[in-house]
Structures are given as C-alpha cells and as structure tokens.
Amino acid sequence: MGRPVSSDASVRLAPVAPPDEVLVRFGGEAACALWWNHGLTWKDRPAGAIGQIEAANENVLVALLEDACLRLHAAGCAYALGPLDASMWGPHRLVTAPGTRDPFDLDVDTPSWWPFAFRAAGFSPVAYYASTEHVLTDGLSGAELPDGLRLCPLTPTNADLRRLHPLLEHAFAGRPGFVPLTPSLFSATVAPYRDLVVDDFALLVEDADGTMVGFGFGLPDPDGETLVIRAIAAASAWPRLDCWLLRTLAAHAHAHGFRRVVHALVPESDARRLCETTPGHVRRRYALLAAPLR
C-alpha cells in the first residue's frame, strides 16, 4: 500500500536514507518506517518522517500513526510529516482525489481511507499536488527557446547527473519534505533513471556560461499511448522556461505517436499555471500532511 506503481522494478523509487526505526504493530497488521536523524525540518523546527506505511484498515492506521508520532516526539521532533520516505526525494504523498483513470507508471496509489486516518491521527495537509493530463492534437509544436539559452545533450553519465544537482536543489528547496543532498547521494538517488533516457524526452537547457538552467524528463508509460513527465525544473532567472519545457516535451511526444502526456505529481499551483499554456486537466490529486507533536 502507498508505494509507487510500476511495471518495472528497476525504476521503483527508494528512500534516500535508511530508516532510524521500523514500527510493527498489531501482529503485523500495521507497519511503518521512521526517520528523524537526517536534517528534515518543518516551520524551522526538527521534524520526523513517517513512510513505507502498511495497514490493514483505517482504525489500525490511526493507531499506527499515533504510535509513530509518540516515537518521533521522544526522538526530539516537533513535527511529523507523512507519508514521506525520508524526504521529498523518495516516495511521498497520499492520493486525495484518484479520478476515474488507472494509475500511470510510477504514480502514487494509496487506499481511499488513508486521508481520513491521517486526519483522525491529528495530521493536516501542508502541500497539495496534482497530475495533469494533456491530450495531444495535430498542429502541436514546440515554442521558441528563449534567447541566450541552448539545448545540450543528456547522456547517462554521472557527469550529467552532477550538473543537474544544483538546479534541482534550487528548484525544490523550500518545499515541504526537502532535505539537501550531497552530489554523490543525489547521483545515487536518480541513478535508476539513467538507462531509461530517451533523447527526445530528456531536455537540458544551459545559458551562455554553460550553467544548467532547465531540465525536463519524461518516460513512456507501458500503455504505449502516454508520456509521463517525471520532472520539470527551471532556474528562477528564467520564470517561463518550465512552460517551454512542458510544451516541447508534449510536441516531441506527439511526434513519436503518443496520444497524451501526463505531467506527474506537480505542486498544484504550478499545475494550474502550466495548464494555461499547454491546455490540460487535472487527472489525480495528492497531499503531504503534517502533525504537531506534543
């Protein structure tokens, strides 16, 4: 329960740090992993993460979360965040509105009663996310790359991964669940994607100084009709570059015969803004939650 859905085990996401403790309760009917010693904060206070959750029913999950909060409080945490496997670099979020379509590859899929259990245990949402679907039509074309920028090739090497590190750290800093990663740990975290790179679906943009300022990455879904965009990031100096990346990935997907793109697990405010430039609709909604510990 609550794990990324994937048809290929080689690209399943994993937490970026081993848990500090694993709780097993009710004869194995419920279990979770806890992290409190890796720099996670919320509202400038130390926080712990609750992830890798398994629970047989709503009541069992409520009791498990309450026990987890007690343990995190004893470890010195002021807040608990969940579902969160160590940090936002690992699997996190729960589904709040599943929609009518099946989960896409590497989507989050959690039982419908999880939000009620989290709320009953004292949690409330601190971040909202959406996956948007964009149907591809004839005439779709990529936009002009802003002046002063150029595309550069992505190859599955550590050198390229290291170049992405400062851009993604800058783009994700400030989001709930963010923890800075060392370059080596970042490379290990994104390594499962290295051999899945398809040139037209991996866009790197650099400025005249060779600094990486934009990144877009998509993976074909096993349905054969959908490109799932896993990441779009742009430097703050180029505020419209993310729109260009989404539209260009969509144009490349259309050229390869895909019928739609799904922009996966985006902060909801970004999803609304990007849908204004590349028309689409929300397919699924998610949230990350937190609870104060006393």
Q: Each residue's pLDDT tens digit in the chain (294 positions)?
A: 444 443 333 344 556 789 999 999 999 999 999 999 999 999 999 999 999 999 999 999 999 999 999 999 999 999 999 999 999 998 899 999 999 888 998 899 999 999 999 999 999 999 999 999 999 987 666 678 888 999 887 766 655 677 889 999 998 998 999 999 888 888 888 877 777 788 789 999 999 998 999 999 999 999 999 999 999 999 989 888 998 999 899 999 999 999 999 999 999 988 888 887 788 899 999 999 999 998
CATH number of 149-285: 3.40.630.30
Query: What residue ranges do the domains of the chain occupy?
Result: 4-130, 149-285
CA distance 114 to 97: 12
For 4-130, CATH number? 3.40.630
CA 162/CA 171 separation, integer angstroms: 15
Give alpha helix (H) positions in the chain.
58-74, 114-120, 158-172, 183-190, 241-255, 268-277
Q: What local confidence, expressed as pLDDT, does residue 215 receive?
A: 92
How far apart CA 149 and CA 213 sit, in angstroms, is 9
Q: In terms of Cα–Cα distance, which of 197, 201, 195, 190 is closest to 168?
A: 190
Domains 4-130 and 149-285 share a fold: yes
Q: What is the pLDDT of residue 195?
A: 75
Quick check: 263 and 246 in contact, CB under 8 A?
yes
Q: Sort 243 into a burial class: Cβ within 10 Å, 0-12 / 13-18 / 19+.
A: middle
| 228-194-110 Cα angle (round to 5) | 45
Q: Quick check: 32 and 54 in contact, CB under 8 A?
A: yes
Question: Residue 76 corresponds to which tokens in the numbers above?
Answer: 């010195």
